[in-house]
Chains A and B, each alone.
Chain A
Amino acid sequence: MVYVENKPGVLTRVASLFRRRAFNIDSLTVGRTEKPEVSRMTITVDADRDQARRIEAHLYKLVNVLLVENITNQPAIVRDLALIRVSATHDARSHVLELASVFRARVVDVSPESLTIEITGGEDKIDGLLEVLRPYGILEMVRTGIVAMRRGSKSNGNAVMDSTAQSAANDDVSYSV
């Protein structure tokens, strides 16, 4: 998770860093937070521990980056959202509806030939639904990429947010490499 100043061009800076240093981004989401001056990115990268440390160090070199948290091994809520249009003609329709309900997904659009299903959850759960829907014929699919939040009442992120944009650099978040 990367907390950045909400300024023009910051997304480009972060994306450019990954390209420039040849790290592959699996997914990147960015959005507003409870503080208007802070945006939050959730970036998924396939990297070993050393690479992850270097990515973190490189991110910190970007002047607009406030805080980086590697939550790979942290208890966290991780959510991805997918919209799946699946072929569902007369015979298959009830099966598809059944599968959707097993996965606690919602049907958000119905047409004579297809159903559009919205599902939210961890990446595995969405992968699971896709797997079982595939035999029916997936006509269209889009995923948001994951957003994440650490579990518990306190996080370093809160420290950054509380101290506002003037003093994000608190001692708690010093990192040793």
Chain B
Amino acid sequence: MTDPKNTPTAATPSTGKTKSESESKTGSKTMTGASILWECLEREGVRVVFGYPGGAILPAYDALKHSKIHHVLVRHEQGATHMADGYARASGEVGVAVATSGPGATNMVTGIATAMLDSIPIVCITGQVGSKLIGSDAFQETDITGVTLPITKHNYLVTHASEVARTIREAFYVARSGRPGPVLVDITKDAQQGTCEFDWEAARPQLPGYRPDLSPAPEEYKQALELIHTSKRPVILAGHGIIVSAAMREVRDFAERAGIPVAMTLLGLGAFPASHPLNLGMMGMHGEAWVNHTIQEADLLLAFGMRFDDRVTGNLKNYAPNAKKIHIEIDPAEINKNVKVDVPLVGDLREVLLELLPHVESIDRSEWLDSIDKLKGDSAVRDIQNLPDSGHLYAAHVINDLWHQTRDGNTIVVTDVGQHQMWEAQYYKHERPRSLITSGGLGTMGFALPAAIGAKVACPEAEVWVVVGDGGFQMTMCELATLVQENLKIHIAIINNGFLGMVRQWQEFFYDRNYAATPLLNPDFAKLADAYGIRSMTVSTRSAVVPAVEAARQHNGPMLINFKVEQEDTVYPMVAAGAALHDMIRRPSPIVETAED
């Protein structure tokens, strides 16, 4: 349980770093709401914000000149939220986006919903019309706290300068604690302009109803251990919560000690090393066939910081029918939401595992592990990597080569949404947490480029690759200008198949190949890059992939590579919507085809 007295302290781990020079001895001084805003952001550890100015947020922008905070000018407010999101995912810190009222604020909605579904801590600051004008349909007035109510963890409307400090402190605390999420703070123009006494210490968060720190009962630990020790065929389902909770070490210790194989969710990739012998690979709709079979045959599922999304369970009616379920999860509302569990352990994953670890017995499960090996069957034969080079360039080749070339470095891959995202998940073997940044829950096309900018700003020393489809790229490609203006060395790999590939794939399987509105007419990406002063290459053969990747890495600046890949390639395996997890559409096996010939 939360000790309420701890709440303010817990809220301020990064505070006190920057002391205002002009602070009086009493600890308070008169400031405008706008100045208080930047002062509080600095004290919360913010170094950079992503934003776009406008009328209602102008007082805040005017006060920015006195702040040490770096402002990245975006080209669309959606980009600002994705950048804050990418920043948060890459660094583990809170990302900040700023926009004006009305259209500026509503443009943030997609980015906020993206962060909400993936539990990403961001704080969005929006300007609002003067408090006296609220409700009058004033110019650029939108009820953005109303609009974002269901897609924020919490939000605030601030109408007085005196409320700014406490609200910002609470916003950061709520965003980063417990199950993280986006918080929006809407500040009226008069609240920015007004003045009041600023006293950081007095502006402690007051959140009497907020309890992010739950922990399981001793009885529940006992029940969990009993299930673990009596199970013959257990599997760990490793989710994003491992990364959020920084429980990589503990999960590894647990898996190794108990001899339990680990299946990954999309957002879990990197939380457990891909090369680890116990790592099975990704589960779910486009997961490896043997992983899904393993889950279906298991007698115990250990869900670590994952939420049984429909993309990983398939049809719930016959999901893991013989398995007991242990669910370690920080959000009590996730328990029994999709899958009924036998033992819920509600709490911070790392703390729960630390509690369990001393009691976990080492058990020989070689029989189970061997049988999983057998489940792999002909998967390798079906793998496109092992098919003879037909002269065609497949996305899987691009991803595989990219992985080979960049695997040893400090690389962050940021993907968009669609076929290329699934191929990335399948063929790029992530060893480290936060080395894959992708929109999982909301599946937001247009996420990759701005999120990569945020990631690069957070981790300037990292090698950042954008892997993006030709469709999604065009949704937010205006941010190329941001990238250039900020002088960021980011590599962009467009997986260009001339289709909205994933939608086309569904049309192929389930809509009788009626490719309605999925073929794309694309611009000349080389000329587009050129217009921004970005160097580019076009690649259409397999042998040209590695040289292009290397050229990008050597180049002293951003590079855009247009990979022209097979147009009608398909992501295999696939669990059709509504099908059982083991009921997969597989890539046709060449052996079977040859036999038929």
Contacts and interface: CB of A to CB of B under 8 A. Distances in A.
Contact of B206 (A9, A13, A166): A166
A168 B336 contact: no
Contacts of B211: 60, 169
Contacts of A169: 1-2, 4, 208-211
B89 to A, nearest CB: 22
Contact of B335 (A5, A57, A61): A57
Contacts of A140: none
Given A60-B332, A177-B332, A12 B209 contact: no
A53 B1 CA distance: 18
B209 A4 contact: yes
Interface in A15-41: 16, 20
Contact of A66 (B153, B208, B332): B208
A75 to B, nearest CB: 26
Q: Which among B2, B209, B210 has the highest number of chain A CB atoms within 10 Å?
A: B209
Given A169-B211, A171-B1, A174-B1, A57 B333 contact: yes
Interface stretch (B142-150, B358-366, B574-582): B142-150
Contacts of B220: 176
Contacts of B66: none
A16 B145 CA distance: 12
A65 interface: yes
B333 A54 contact: yes
Contacts of A60: 209, 211, 332-333
Contact of A63 (B4, B210, B336, B346): B210
B383 interface: no
A61 B2 contact: no
A95 interface: no
B595 interface: no
Contacts of A57: 331-333, 335
Interface string A145-166: 0000000000000000000111
Contacts of A54: 333, 336-337
B145 A9 contact: yes
B545 interface: no
B336 A64 contact: no
Interface in B140-193: 145-146, 149-150, 153-154, 157, 174
Interface in B62-93: none
Contacts of A104: none
Contacts of A63: 153-154, 174, 207, 209-210
Interface in B202-251: 206-211, 214, 216-217, 220
B306 to A, nearest CB: 17
Given A12-B146, A63-B174, A169-B2, A5 B209 contact: yes
B344 interface: yes
A119 to B, nearest CB: 35
A50 interface: yes
Contacts of A12: 146, 149
A67 B331 CA distance: 17
Contacts of B336: 50, 53-54, 177
Contacts of A20: 150
A5 B346 contact: no
B209 A168 contact: yes
A154 to B, nearest CB: 20
B569 to A, nearest CB: 38
A144 interface: no
B5 interface: yes
Contacts of B2: 169
Interface in B1-47: 1-2, 4-5
Contacts of B333: 54, 57-58, 60-61
Interface in B46-67: none
Nearest to B335: A177
Q: Which among A60, A66, A169 has the highest number of chain B CB atoms within 10 Å?
A: A169
A61 B1 contact: no
A13 B209 CA distance: 14
Contacts of B214: 174
Contacts of A16: 149-150
A166 B335 contact: no
B291 to A, nearest CB: 28
A70 interface: no
A57 B336 CA distance: 11
A101 interface: no
Contacts of B149: 12-13, 16
A23 to B, nearest CB: 12
B150 A168 contact: no
A169 B149 CA distance: 24
Contacts of A174: 1, 214
A65 B174 CA distance: 14
Contacts of B206: 165-166
A5 B154 CA distance: 14
Q: Which among A164, A166, A175 has the highest number of chain B CB atoms within 10 Å?
A: A166
A62 interface: yes
Given A53-B336, A166-B4, A64 B209 contact: yes
A94 interface: no
Nearest to B219: A176
Nearest to A160: B208
Given A5-B209, A20-B150, 9 more contacts: A50-B336, A57-B333, A62-B154, A63-B209, A66-B208, A67-B209, A169-B209, A170-B1, A174-B1
Interface of A: 4-5, 8-9, 12-13, 16, 20, 50, 53-54, 57-58, 60-67, 164-171, 174-177
The 4 A-B pairs at the shortest CB distance, nearest first, are namely A57-B333, A167-B4, A168-B208, A57-B332
26 contacts: A5-B209, A9-B145, A12-B146, A13-B149, A16-B149, A57-B335, A58-B333, A60-B332, A60-B333, A61-B333, A62-B209, A63-B174, A63-B210, A64-B209, A166-B4, A167-B5, A167-B208, A168-B4, A169-B4, A169-B208, A169-B210, A170-B1, A176-B216, A176-B217, A176-B220, A176-B346
